[in-house]
Amino acid sequence: MFKLIKHLLLLCVAILFNFSLLYADSVASIINYVNTGKYLELETEKAYIKLTPVTNDIIRVRVGVKDVAGNNKYLEDYSYAVLDDVINKNANFTATRRGNNIYMRTDSLEVEIDLDSALIDIRDIKDGFSYAKDFEPMAFNEPVIRQENIEKPGLGNPFNEGNSVTVTKRLAYNEHFYGLGEKTGKFDKRRSNLQMWNTDAYGYCPTCDPIYQSHPFFIGLKDDKAYGIFFDNTYRTYFDMGYTDEDRYIFSSEGGEIDYYFMRGPSIKEVLSHYTALTGKMPMPPKWSIGHHLCRWSYYPDNEVIEVVETARSNKIPLDVIWLDIHYMDEYRIFTWDKTRFSDLKGTVDKIHSMGAKVVSMIDPGVKVDPGYFVYDEMMANEYYVKYPDGSPVIGPVWPGDCIFPDFTNPSVRSWWGNLYKVMLDQGIDGFWNDMNEPAVFNDIKTMKDDASFYDFGLNSSHRKMHNVYALNMIRATYEGVLNLMNGKRPFVLSRAGFSGLQRYFGVTWTGDNISSFEHLKLTIPMFLGLSLSGIPFVGADIGGFNDSADPELLTRWYQAAALTPFMREHTAVSTYDQEPWAYGDPYKSIMREAINLRYRLLPYLYTLFHEASNESSPIMRPLVYEYQNDENTYNLEDEFLLGDKILVAPVLERGVNNRVVYLPKGTWYDYGSGETLEGNWAYYYSAPLHVLPVFVKEGSIIATKEVGQYVDEVSEEEIGLQVYMPANDGEYTSTLYVDDGETINSEYDNFVFKLTKGNGSTNIEINRGGSFNKVKRFYLTFNGGDVKKIVADGKEVTIDNNRFYIDGNTKRIDIS
């Protein structure tokens, strides 16, 4: 009876949430199956289910609904998110029938399919652990067409929209969910009901959903084991992660087809590496972009821009980048600039370069309707715009007034767009900011109508299908264009909106138009961690908050919290108070300077993490659960984070407090400020008055540092400080350092591996070098918590008399031969 009431309730909720067709049709019992050698295909009365083992650890599940004649109706097999070479890959597998089940096996996974219900269970072959079992048969029906969102109803709906689809899986009482991209709310997404629909969310609230990006990918964690699911569907999708019912989680879409990839763990790290094998990794950034950035809507005219950089220099506030928001343009026409505000743009940029800083400028997708303006004229002449089914351009208001919008799904448009950046590169501009790319339109639905039509590989697809990948294609066009124009140098492109795969087109992102409040400061950590676990490592938020004006305490705490996050940019809206670190004088200025200096000191460590992210897909900023998956205390932790695996940061995120609780996971930790050690697996009440940013270093770490410069390249990597944190416990501890030229794609590099070994009462260091850049000439080692007995570099013991090893107080110097 209870179950019946629950089901009825569920149905009502589903109707309310526009899932009225949830139970309308399902794949039900299997009437036939065939093993093609590449995949296993199961036939039901209404549909075909295709199970492809992409690798031993990744299973792709697709459902093609039959047409009236009973024929197979899979949609075209391509993806904007998944790399082409993966789509056509498959691993060896066997398929056997036993009783009423079929068992499909790779080397590491077993998929059990129940012939009566077509329910799928995916299990680990080693221990039979069930990762993601269907709760109900996969369901589908006609897509939801929103009549009110049709601009030209007379044309009907000419699009092939697939089906609205639903997958429902069993939810364990102890299951947690992470990822799902850029989301507000809690870090653990269990109990959440979330939507993927890229939205211009100006001044969004701390629980508002959806906002700018869509990443239909999540990591499930139960019984200490992780798995991942990527739902490769670009329509508006929904993720009900135990919100409606504690026994099930549901992912569904308004169109397309069921097409998801299951990824095995059991570690979160392995899941992420499978996910990035599917969707790609971030290329290395130019080194300057990991410094401190200053932005405002907008710095202008030219002398103000120069003055900001000069003020940073005179205040000894390290600064690498100054940003030009929309006011630099000539009446918001992209690829132009206002000649009265910037009479000599190149001269201004040169001047900023001479002070060691770089310039990034904004380029929006909306092109002003303005005959005679070259971008508009070229678009009209070539029909490069997004159009209605009758061929007329979609026109909508954005900053410049009425605009047309490039159709970035068309390769010719992408290459045309990419070349436009030459205009800005010729002025010396160093990087680009693609904003408003949801795409945002100033109307009641904040975007284009459903029947706007896109090229989409010649399929002419609707905005319903293409909306969530508009930004992805725009960033692709920008990234590929700039890459092509920069002769082997690394592009820098910031995007507001995005979809899974954004990271492979660089895809640095920030969390949009937040608010100057402590609630929003607090929100930055779960948001960054969600993005980090969705394959987007280079993330940040507007420091100080965008909407409203930050007071000095908030700004100071925000600077501290952001100092060790991947993308560090202060930004604020038009007509708010100034938010530069010097805005309120001392003591705030000095405290913010100290936080920024800490980042600049740790640059070699940070840059190494960027390399790890682009090479191995490990996030730069990590939730504690990433490294301590067996520790339940970490499962919902969202007010502290790890920078790599060695540094733990626990910023103060509340007003008017002088302390906070810090949880340290197992092991011995060093307080970075005092050098004192603290035992982990314990929560501490830690004193943190305004000038203190609580930072801790794991025992056995060797942290690479350099002297603080006023910009990242002011101090070279010839001399590297190595801060050694002696292990309290016996064992082997590995740290690394990666150094390259910081600007070219195929740079030479040095890759050092430091091994600290503690045992038999002594500790030794072994240093090994890979690569042949030979940039690093000297290490200066400082020791915390003891000393080492022996140092071995490149296989040779380092001794005092061979002149490569100096003892100067607590510092030892090693010259590299």
Tell me the pairing of strands 719-725 and 778-784: parallel
Rounded to the nearest whole angstrom, what is the least distance from the CB of residue 774 to ligand GLC in the complex? 42
Q: Which is nearer to ligand GLC, 43 or 435 (CB)?
A: 435
Cis peptide before 266 (omega within 30 of 0): yes
Least Cβ distance, residue 541 to ligand GLC (angstroms): 11
- Largest Cα span, the chain: 89
Catalytic annotation present for 127: no
Secondary structure of 570-637 as H, E, C letters: ECCCCCCCCCCCCCCCCCHHHHHHHHHHHHHHCHHHHHHHHHHHHHHCCCCEECHHHHCCCCHHHCCC
Which residue number, 326 or 482, has a Cβ lying nearer to ligand GLC? 326
End-to-end CA distance of the chain: 79
Strand, coil or helix: 736 = strand
Residue 359 CB, nearest distance to ligand GLC (Å)? 16
> Which listed residue (209, 438, 580, 750) is catalytic?
438
Produce one character per residue of 31-41: b if its CB has 16 or more CB atoms within 10 Å, e if not: eebeeeeebbb
Count of other CB atoms within 10 angstroms of residue 260 = 21
Residue 228 or 512 with smaller CB distance to ligand GLC: 512
CB of 431: closest distance to ligand GLC in angstroms?
15
Helix (H) or strand (E) holding 524: helix 518-532
Residue at shortest CB range from ligand GLC: 297
Closest C-alpha among 219, 214, 211, 263 to residue 237: 214
Q: Quick check: helix, strand or coil at residue 119?
A: coil
How many whole angstroms separate alpha carbon 755 and alpha carbon 733? 6
Q: What share of the chain is helix, strand, coil (3-state, %, to 5)?
A: 20, 30, 45
Q: CA 652, CA 661: separation in Å to the nearest integer?
A: 9
d(CA 754, CA 738): 11
- Decide if 410 contacts 404 (C-beta within 8 A): no
Catalytic residue among 110, 175, 325, 435: 435
C-alpha 10/C-alpha 14 separation (Å) is 6
Q: Which of the 8 DSSP states describes residue 536? A: -
Which amino acid type is present at position 212? Y
| Residue carrying the six token digits 């929560």 | 683
Find tokens 């190149």 and name the residue.
Answer: 346
In DSSP terms, 617 is beta-bridged to none
| Cα angle for residues 39, 40, 44 (degrees, 5° grid) | 135
What torsion do the CA atoms of 501, 505, 508, 514 make, to the nearest 10 degrees?
-60
Q: What is the 3-state secondary structure (H, E, C) of 693-720?
A: CCEEEECCCEEEECCCCCCCCCCCCCEE
Distance, CA of 363 to CA of 329 (rounded, Å)? 9
188 is a catalytic site residue: no
CB of 546 to ligand GLC, least distance (A): 6
Closest-CA residue to 169 (of 191, 137, 125)? 137
**Rounded distance between C-alpha atoms, residue 38 and residue 90, angstroms:** 6
Phi and psi torsions of 803, nearest 5°: 75, 5
Catalytically annotated residue among 320, 513, 671, 740: 513
CA distance 515 to 298: 17
Other Cβ atoms within 10 Å of 435 Cβ, number: 25
Q: Which residues bind ligand GLC (CB under 6 A)?
A: 202, 297, 325-326, 362, 435, 496, 512-513, 571
Cβ–Cβ under 8 Å, residues 90 and 38: yes
Let me know how long the chain is. 817
What's the half-sphere exposure (Cβ side, CA atoms, 13 Å) at 693? 25
| CA 434 to centroid of chain Cα atoms | 16
List b or e across 712-733, with b for residues whose CB sees 16 or more CB atoms inside 10 angstroms: bbebebeebbbbbbbbbeeeeb
Annotation marks residue 124 as catalytic: no
Q: Residue 440 CB, nearest distance to ligand GLC (Å)? A: 8
Question: Are 510 and 592 within 8 A, CB to CB?
Answer: no
Q: Cα separations (Å) of 319 from 252, 685, 713? A: 45, 34, 11
Q: How far is CA 524 from each of CA 514, 516, 776, rounded to the nearest angstrom?
A: 9, 12, 35
The set of catalytic residues is 435, 438, 513
